[in-house]
Chain A
Amino acid sequence: MIQLIGAKRVMIIVVLAGLCAVLGAGAYMYLIPQSDKLDRELKTVKSDISFKRSEADRFRQEMAEIQNEKNTFQSLEVLGFLGEQSRLAARKRIEAIQSYSRVLSASYNIAPGVVENAETATIADRVVLKSKITIDVEALDDADVYSFIHLLENAFIGYVSITSIELERVQDLNEVTLRQIGSGIPAVLVKAKIELDWKTLMSREQALVIGASVPTPGSQ
């Protein structure tokens, strides 16, 4: 066959085939994978740049927001929204509210705290500590009860969310009750039962320390 084709042609074919092989190997075994690798690297670098810039922008925006919200946050801190739920402090605060509102009595029951996840709090690794409180109030006037509720909502430790109010007039204002009031004996004309949720934010570690069962993030 070589005699028919000629050594020159065979040589040309061999050289061209070799050249093809070298070029093919260079293109498909080195250059194209290298090009893909560099493309990926470029994408990563661009992604990093984009991330850093967006984070820097976010920080700038947050800084502006923090400047605006700093006072609100400080108020929440002062209000005890970010603290533990001290039963002693709660007792003192209810006594103060009772005194300010002029209700005759306010007997309360604070249930053990339970820990709940809040989606908004997970970014700071915080959980919500919730305690159910039931307060039975006796008063001379329903206006005093309203005042008690108002103070409870705005001056209690942490956050208070009233879930139910039951207000009942137990006696009419008549001569007997007027005489009773005049003689200095407190007359209960109105009774109220208030149920509320007391909520504060606390760190996950803090919740574990006080022994509350802490749900994993994402579960309720």
Chain B
Amino acid sequence: MSVTLMSPSRTVLLIGDDALYIYSVTARAVRFIETLPWNTDDFVRTVSGLLRKECGGKPVLILNDMTDQYFKGGQRLPNVGMMDKQGVLKRKLQVAFPNYPIRGALPIKQKKDERSAGSDKAANVRTAGDLYLFAGVPMAEPLVKTFEAVKTSMVSVVGFTLLPVEASDMVRALSTKLAGKERPASEWAVFIGQHQSGALRQVVTRNGQLAMTRITAVAANEGDYQAWAMDVYQEFKATLGYLSRYGYSADDGTDLMVVASAEAGNALEQMIDIPCNYSSFTSNEAARVLGMSIGVQEHAGYADPLHAAWCGRKTSFILKMDAADLNRIHQPRQAAAAAIVLLLAGTAYLGWQVASNAQKVLSTQAEISDQKRVLGQATAEYDQEVKRLEAMGYDVKLIQAALNTFNDFETNRMDTMPLLKKISDGLGNELRIDKITVKDLAFNAPQQSAIDLTRLKDAAIAANNGEDKPPRVETTIHMSFPQTITPEEGRKQIDDLERRLKALLPTSIVWVEKNVGSKDYTETTSGAAGRNKEMTAEELDMKAEIRITGPLS
């Protein structure tokens, strides 16, 4: 755990067998506030007052260091699904500690070789669920008093934890740091520290996980280092004795770390006669090894400020115990804190909304004011132009309407004179026509024709740059030839005229509807025979008809 200025600032309530020890933990120091024996008069009010005033109402972490904490290791869960796991775990905890209302389960990391070995045991391990260390604490009077004090003080509760469990990672960190790069950290690490109460707390880890913990009393008087060392040595030997039941061997390698005054540490070192890596330091020195600062301590030989600092600055805990009584206090306050955070966030967001919208309103108002000034100028300019137009004395709309309508008429007008001029040019001086009709097909129906004009139409479209302009003007030319010429000569004249007209009117379709001497005249033939006859059959045969259809221009 790295300790920074961002570490939380908390009050740590260290619950011992004899008294409650109150520490104020900040990022820089650990300040011992007060020791309150359990039989103190008006305990709850006193603690409550201290939490509010001396500790500044900081969130409280309850660290249980009492003798009455029970562990059950090697608790394996059946292999159940994720959804059922919590329920099964809760039930197993209840079965393990039916009379202890404060419970917790710590998952134990299993060695890979245990799972991968080919034995039947390994196979069972693979098929079974996770392994847990169960912990249970009875609801003793000190806890009831502490919870009541916390409830009365109105401070927030961070959680209820067990000192040996939360100290296990500190032991591992110390062991690793002391080993440095020269040697690997030993498999077993034993941390021994005496608390202000006089109790000696031993925390033993194996490969960084809590293996065992003991709390015993030390009878030696303060200043009698030899006696103290002898007591500690005896307890240490006893601990090793317990550990040997769980597979401890001196050959595995052991780190022994003791928090004590320099003199006491030296005295103990003289007595250690088993192979181990012995380290002794004061609580300040231990904190420095861990990269922490705990400030000046009155009794540097006690380990409880170190525990308070380590646990009080944690952002996450190894095992947060589930205490229903504490939850009843903790959860509403947590909900209130969450509500306050949410409301603060909401206030900040709405404040930002108000500020940004107010700024937008102000800037828009300023812009409207500017634009109104511009509008005033534009209106003046507009009025000036209107006056100028009025001064001219013309109705602009009328002029535009008249000119546009006139131009529209012109665009749709059949211009006969150029067409007649071209036909006249095509006729030349030799030929003359009997009758000519020119029709605007927008107002007159076209004449029927016996000729398929598709091919001729293609030529007209090509002459119109590929544009298929609808025919609007239809011209019919009727001609007749005297019988003094042969029909062949007449046909030649008509064919030549058709060619000339096609050249003169490239965008129009020109064709001979009836040629001289043609026998396929499709119109109804009518006339009179005898005295009243107007025209002879020969005269009739010398007539020809040419048609021209084309666009307006």
- Chain A residues in the interface with B (C-beta under 8 A): 1, 4-6, 8-10, 12-13, 16-17, 19-20, 23-24, 26-28, 31-32, 34-35, 38-39, 41-42, 45-46, 48-49, 52-53, 55-56, 59-60, 62-63, 66, 69-70, 72-73, 76, 81-82, 118, 120-124, 126, 128, 146, 149-150, 153, 159, 161-169, 195, 197, 199, 201
Question: When A and B form their complex, which 3 residue pairs have the shortest distance between CB atoms, in order from nearest?
Answer: A6-B154, A124-B401, A23-B350
Which residue in B368, B389, B406, B443 is a CB contact (below 8 Å) of A63? B389
Q: Does B532 sit at the interface, judged by CB under 8 A?
A: no
Chain A residues with Cβ under 8 A from B328's Cβ?
4
Q: Note all chain A residues with C-beta closer than 8 A to B354.
A: 23, 26-27, 31
Q: Which of B421-448 contact A (CB under 8 A)?
A: 432-440, 442-444
24 sampled A-B residue pairs with Cβ under 8 A:
A4-B328, A5-B154, A6-B333, A9-B336, A13-B340, A23-B353, A27-B353, A32-B357, A34-B361, A35-B360, A38-B361, A38-B364, A38-B365, A39-B364, A42-B367, A45-B371, A56-B382, A62-B400, A76-B406, A118-B408, A121-B404, A124-B400, A166-B435, A197-B443
Least distance between B156 CB and chain A CB atoms (Å): 9
**A82 CB contacts on chain B under 8 angstroms:** 398, 402
Residues from chain A with a CB closer than 8 A to the CB of B403 are 69, 72-73, 76
Contacts of B337-365 to chain A: CB distance below 8 A: 337, 339-340, 343-344, 346-347, 350-351, 353-354, 357-358, 360-361, 364-365
Is B219 an interface position by the 8 A CB rule? no
Contact of A9 among B340, B344, B358 (CB under 8 A): B340
Contact of A31 among B357, B395, B434 (CB under 8 A): B357
A8, B440: Cβ atoms closer than 8 Å: no
- Check if A27 sits within 8 Å of B437, measured CB to CB: no
CB-contact partner of A20 in B347, B358, B372, B437, under 8 A: B347
Chain B: interface size category: 35 or more
CB pair B332–A4 under 8 Å, yes or no, is yes
> A159–B402 Cα gap in the complex (Å)?
11
Report the minimal beta-carbon distance from A64 to chain B, rounded to whole angstroms: 12
Bound Cα distance A60, B388 (Å) = 9
Q: Which residues of B contact A66 (CB under 8 A)?
A: 392, 394, 396, 399
A146's closest neighbor in chain B, by CB? B420
Contact partner, B392, options A13, A63, A150, Cβ 8 Å: A63
Say which residue of A16, A24, A59, A69 sits within 8 Å of B389 (CB atoms): A59
Tell whether, in the assembled complex, residue A56 and residue B400 are in contact, meaning their CB atoms are under 8 Å apart.
no
B382 proximity list for chain A (CB < 8 A): 52-53, 55-56, 59
Knowing A56-B382, A164-B440 touch, does A73 contact B402 (C-beta < 8 A)? yes
Interchain nearest-CB distance for A186 vs B (Å):
21
Measured CB to CB, the closest approach of chain A to B216, in angstroms, equals: 39
A69 to B401, CA, bound (A): 12
**Cα of A121 to Cα of B374 in the assembled complex, Å:** 35
Once the chains are docked, how many angstroms separate the CA of A80 from the CA of B408? 17
Shortest beta-carbon distance from A100 to chain B in Å: 16
- Most chain B Cβ neighbours within 10 Å, of A26, A120, A150: A120
When C-beta atoms are compared, the residue in chain A nearest to B443 turns out to be: A163
Nearest B-chain residue to A154, judged by Cβ: B417
Residues on B with beta carbons closer than 8 Å to the beta carbon of A123: 397, 400-401
The residue of chain A having its C-beta at the shortest distance from the C-beta of B152 within the complex is: A3
Whether, in the assembled complex, B318 has its beta carbon less than 8 Å from a beta carbon of chain A, the answer is no
Inter-chain contacts of A45 with B (CB < 8 A)? 368, 371-372, 375
Bound-state CA distance A9–B378 (Å) is 60
Pair A161/B385 contact, Cβ less than 8 Å:
no
Q: A59-B388, A63-B392 are known contacts. Are A23 and B347 too (CB-CB below 8 A)?
A: yes
A38 touches B440 (CB 8 A): no
Residue contact A168 to B401, C-beta cutoff 8 Å? no
Does chain A have a CB within 8 A of B151?
yes
A77 to chain B, nearest CB (A): 8
A56 pairs with B378, CB closer than 8 A: yes
Q: Decide yes or no whether B409 CB sits under 8 A from chain A.
A: yes
A46–B388 CA distance with the chains assembled, in angstroms = 25
Please indicate the chain A residues that have their CB under 8 angstroms from the CB of B486 in the complex: none
**A13 touches which one: B336, B372, B389, B440 (CB < 8 A)?**
B336
> How long is the Cα–Cα vector from A164 to B444 in the complex, in angstroms?
8
> Which of chain B's residues have a CB closer than 8 A to the CB of A197?
443
- CB neighbours (8 Å) of A76 from chain B are 402-403, 406
Contacts of A38 in B (CB 8 A): 361, 364-365, 368
Given contacts A23-B351, A52-B378, A168-B435, contact A201 B357 (CB under 8 A): no
B267 close to A (CB within 8 Å): no
